[in-house]
Structure 1
Amino acid sequence: MRILTLSWEYPPVVEGGLARHVRKLSEQLVRDGHEVHVVTRGGGRLSEHEERHGVHVHRVREPEFPKDDLDAFIAWVDHMNDDMLAAGAELGSGFDLVHSHDWLVAAAARQLARKRRIPWLVTVHATEYGRHQGWVDKHPQSHIHGVEKRMTRAADRVITCSEFMRQQVTEIYGLPRAKVTAIPNGIDPTDLQPVSDLPRLRAKFAAPDEQLVLLVGRLVYEKGFHLALDALPGLIRRVGKIRFLIAGSGTAEAELKAQAERLGLMEHGTFIGWTGDDVLHSLYRIADLCLVPSIYEPFGLVALEAMASGCPTIVADTGGLREVVPRGRKVGLRFRASSVRSLERMAQQLLTDEELRERLVAEAGEHVLRFDWADVARQTVAVYERLVASRTTA
C-alpha cells in the first residue's frame, strides 16, 4: 500500500507527542512492506527531501510559528497548508489514501485526497473542545473547533488514540460510531534507553536521602501541573525530603513558576524547560515518582513511558489515562481528577510504601508490552484496507 501522510511535526521537528506517533507508525508501516511519504515542515533548516528509516520525508519551508498570538498562528497554519498542498501535488499519483493528523493539516489533506479521488483518513490526537473543557464559543477556539468538526465530518474515516476520545469525537461532532476507530498509541522500550550518567544526573537534582518527583509535558492548563504544585507543600510536610522536577515548556510556564514562588517551592525543585528524548528517558530512570495530573488527557504517553522505564506512576482518573492505567490492575495509582487532596494522599502513600512501589513497577513492566507499535500498525492497516475496499466496491 502507498500512503501519503500529512503532519505539522515530524522528527527532528518536535512540538509534542504527535511527532513521535507519526514517526513510529510510519516506520513500522515501512517495515511491514508499505510505502510511506510524509509531508511536513522544516524545509530550509533541514533537507527538503530525504529518506529517514525508509520513510520518504518531504518538508515545506515555513518560518517559526508565532507562539503568543493565536490569530497570527491561524494565519500561519493557512500558509503552511497552501505549501503542503503544493508539495503533495508534486508527488504525483499512485497513492492509495491520504492519512492526516489533527486539524493543523486538514485543509491540505482534504484537497489532496479529493483531487486524487482517494480516501482520506484523519487521526484526532486531541480536540479544542477537550483542551478548553467545552468553552469553544469564542474566537479563536471557535475557529479551531469548527475546523475539527468539518474535518471529521468530511473525512472518510477517523482514528482516535483511546475509547475515551472515540466517545468524545462522536458526541461533539455528531459522527456515527462506526466511522470512528480507537487505536491506542504504542511504545517502543528500546527508545527509552537512558544515555546519561544516571548517578551524576540524579545528584544534579536530588541528594541521596531525598525523593525526586517528576512532571513531564507541555506547560499548559489542561496538563494540570498547577494541581501538582498545590499538592507539593503538604506532601513535603508529611513525607519530608522531597525534590520536584518539571520538564517541559509552554504558554503557562511563567504562571507556574510564579505559583511555585508563592508556595515557597523553588528551594525544593526546579523547572528545566523542554528537554530532548535522551535526557527525558534518563529522568524517568532517576525519579522516585512520576505525576501525570492532567485535567484533559486523550491518551497519556508520559505515563506509559514512565511505567516502561520502571518509574512508579500516579495519574489523574480521567480521559485516556484510565485506559493506560486501568482500574483493577496494579500498574499505577489513580487520584480523583482535579483534587489536590486526593493527589497529595496518593503521592504520600506511594512515596512511603516501598513494597507498593516495587509491586507497581513489576506489574507495569508487563502491562506496557500491550502497547506495541507492530500491533498499532496492524490495526491501522486494517482500517486502511477496509477504507480502500469500500471505495473500490462503491
Structure 2
Amino acid sequence: MNGRVLILSWEYPPVVEGGLARHVRKLSEELVRQGTEVHVLTRGERPSELRAGVHVHRVPEPQWPRDLDRFLAWVRAMNDDMRRAGTALAEEHDFDLVHGHDWLVARAASALADRIGVPFLATIHATEHGRHQGWVDKPPQSKIHATERWMARRADGLITCSHYMRGHVADVFGVDESAIAVIANGIDPGDLQPVGDLEALRARFAAPDERLLLLVGRLVYEKGFQFALEALPAVIAKVGDLRFVVAGSGTHEAQLRKQATELGLDAHGTFAGWIGDDLLHSLYRISDLCVVPSLYEPFGLVALEAMASGCPCIVANTGGLAEVAPSDDVALRFRSRDPRSLARMMVKVLTDEPLRDRLVAQASEHVLRFDWVDVARQTRGVYAELIAANPGAIVSRP
C-alpha cells in the first residue's frame, strides 16, 4: 500500500508522555521507508515540519491538567482543534485512510474519516477497563470507557498489540475478535544506547558488592509495584547486599513510598521519579535484574527493552507479558499478585550467575522478533485490506 495516510496521536516527539509517542514515531518512519506517505496530526508548540520523512502537523494546546475531570474537557477541546486542522489538511491532500491511536483522538479521527470518506482504523494500546481492573461504572472512568467502547464499535478496523489484548477488547466492547488484527509492538536495540559514565551512574545507586534491582514504569496500581516492594524484605534477608531503583512517577507514588518506609526499605533503595530515555537506557545496562510485576499489561515494552539491553528479567504471568516472554528461557515468570512467588524468583536470579547469563543470551536473540520492519509491513497490510473494502475512497499516489 503506497498511498497516503493521516495518523492522529495525542503525543509525538518531542512531546513524549509515554510509550505511545515512541510507537507512533517508529511506525510512521518505517511506513515512510516502505513507501507510504505519512502525515501525523498531533499537538505541540513546535511548528509543523518534515521529520525523518514524516509530515508532522501540530496543533498548539495548553499543558494538560492533572485533574481527570478537567482532563476530559481538555481532550474534547484538543479533538475539536485536531478536527479543524485535519479538515484543512484534507483540502490539500487526498488521504486514503485515517489511523487513530487510542481513545484520546478517537472523536477527531472518526469525524475526519467521515468527512473525507475513507476508512477509520483504530489502534487500542490499552483500555480503561483493564487499567482499573473492571471498575469503570462511575465517572470519570465510565466516560473514558464509553468513548473506548464507541471507538471499538465505530472503527472500520482495529489493531491490538497482543493476542491477549485482542481477546480483552472483543470481550469488553462486544466486537468480533476475528475483525481485530494483532500486530506486536516493535523495538530497535539501536535506540537503547546508554549515555555517560555507566560506572559513575552505578556508584550513585549501588556499591560494587551490591546487587541492583530495577523497577520502571508509571507508578499506578495496575503496574503492581506494591507486590515487588512486598517481596523485597524476604529477598534482602537471603541475598544480603541489595539496592533497588524505582524509576517513574504516577498517582500511586505516595502510597509506594509509604509502603517502602513501613517495610523498612528506605535504606535499601531510591525513588528516582520520572526519568528520560537516556537515563533509562543506562539504568538497564547497570542493573542486575529488572522486575515487571504488572497486574494488567497489554504488551510489556519495559521487559522487551530490558532484555534487549542485556538485563535479566522477571515478569508477571499476565496479559501481553506472556507473549513478550513466552518461556523461562528468555525471562522468568511468577504468579501475578504473589510476592512470595516473586521473592523466590528474585533470589534465584540474583544468586545464580549461570542462569543470568543464559537468560541474557536467549533474550538477545528473542528480541529480534520484534522488528519495526515487520510491524510496518503488517500495518500496511491492514491499510490495504481496509482501503480495498472501501471502493469509494480515492487511492492517492505518493
Deviation at 1:169, TM superposition (A): 0.5
- Tell me the equivalent position of 2:154: 154
Query: Match for 2:64: what amino acid?
Result: F
Distance in 1, Cα, partners of 2:350 & 2:17? 32
- Tell me the equivalent position of 2:81: 83
1:70 to 59, 68, 71: 68
- Tell me the equivalent position of 1:3: 5
Q: Could you say what secondary structure the match of 1:275 adopts?
A: coil
Task: Say if 2:213 and 2:287, in contact at 8 Å, map to a contact too.
Answer: yes
Query: Match for 2:309: what amino acid?
Result: S
Query: Which deviates further from its counterpart, 90-99 or 109-118?
Result: 90-99
- Tell me the equivalent position of 1:104: 104
Matched, 1:326 2:326: yes
Q: Could you say what secondary structure the match of 1:391 adopts?
A: coil
1:29 to 15, 28, 31: 31
Cα deviations across residues 35-84 of structure 1 (Å, max 9, x unaligned)? 111111112xx22x1111111111111111111x2111100100010011
Distance in 2, Cα, partners of 1:91 & 1:168? 35
Distance in 1, Cα, partners of 2:121 & 2:83? 16
- Tell me the equivalent position of 1:53: 52
Query: Match for 1:378: what amino acid?
Result: R
Matched, 1:377 2:376: yes
Distance in 2, Cα, partners of 1:223 & 1:19? 20
Q: Percent identity?
A: 66
Task: Say if 2:41 and 2:56, in contact at 8 Å, map to a contact too.
Answer: yes
Deviation at 1:178, TM superposition (A): 2.3
CA-based RMSD: 1.0
Q: Could you say what secondary structure the match of 1:318 adopts?
A: coil
Task: Say if 2:32 and 2:38, in contact at 8 Å, map to a contact too.
Answer: yes
Cα deviations across residues 83-124 of structure 1 (Å, max 9, x unaligned)? 111111111240010000000000000000000000000000
Task: Say if 1:156 and 1:179, in contact at 8 Å, map to a contact too.
Answer: no
Cα deviations across residues 180-205 of structure 1 (Å, max 9, x unaligned)? 01100000010011112111111111
Cα deviations across residues 7-55 of structure 1 (Å, max 9, x unaligned)? 0111111111111110100010011111111111112xx22x1111111
Count of equivalent residues: 389
- Tell me the equivalent position of 2:14: 12
Deviation at 1:275, TM superposition (A): 1.0
Task: Say if 2:117 and 2:392, in contact at 8 Å, map to a contact too.
Answer: no
Q: Could you say what secondary structure the match of 1:296 adopts?
A: coil
Q: Could you say what secondary structure the match of 1:37 adopts?
A: strand
- Tell me the equivalent position of 2:277: 277
- Tell me the equivalent position of 1:244: 244
Distance in 2, Cα, partners of 1:295 & 1:205? 27
Q: Using CA pairs below 8 Å that are at least 6 residues apart, which structure has the higher relative contact order?
A: 2
Deviation at 1:256, TM superposition (A): 1.1
Distance in 1, Cα, partners of 2:264 & 2:40? 47
Matches within 5 A, 1:343-382: 343-382=342-381
TM-score normalized by structure 1? 0.97
- Tell me the equivalent position of 1:164: 164
Query: Match for 2:28: what amino acid?
Result: S
Task: Say if 2:82 and 2:108, in contact at 8 Å, map to a contact too.
Answer: yes
Unaligned runs of 5+ in 2: 394-398
Matches within 5 A, 1:283-294: 283-294=283-294
Matches within 5 A, 1:69-218: 69-92=67-90, 93-218=93-218
Query: Match for 1:310: what amino acid?
Result: G
